[in-house]
Amino acid sequence: MRHLSLDFESTASNLQMGYSLLLAGILTFVLIVTANVMLTHKIEIYLAEAEQQADAIIAPDNTAHAEDAARKISAHLTGPWGKLFRALDSTEAPNVALLSLKPDVPNRTLRIYAEARGFSAMLSYYDALLQNGTFDKVVLTEHEIQDKNPLLPVRFNITATWQ
């Protein structure tokens, strides 16, 4: 077995070396903390400037967009739906079935998709909408005979503007 030699005496050179390493460690720590504080401060300034620029650029646009969207939704919800539905219900159309309605509130138009048993039923429904008084302009925009169906119904579209 090897002999182990432990020297617990401190010499001047060992002591100086220890103090210099301690001083180097303290200086390194101080430099790192100072650099960290400076970088953190610069990042906070940069983020504050970026936030101010984003608020100046984005906030008015988002506000305007939100207000525009709210106006459109409000106009759509407060449209004259009761009046239009009563006008469509009161229109005599025994041989016409309404398939769908597509309103365009800003342009005050209503697109009516319907199906009739024949041309005469389609034209009588068109005339009834003209005579109704609720709609200003009624235009038959499209019609098509459904030849795959043995009854040969006519699908048609009418665009009507309301007052």
Report pLDDT digits (tens) over 89-125: 888 888 999 999 998 887 889 999 999 998 999 999 9
Report pLDDT digits (tens) over 55-75: 766 555 566 777 877 777 776
As a whole-number percent, the residues of the chain with pLDDT over 90 amount to: 35
Report pLDDT digits (tens) over 18-28: 899 999 999 99
Average pLDDT over residues 147-160: 89
Tell me the pairing of strands 154-162 and 135-145.
antiparallel
Sequence-distant (≥ 6) Cβ neighbours of residue 87 within 8 angstroms: 132, 133, 134, 135
Backbone angles phi, psi at 117, to 5 degrees: -75, -15
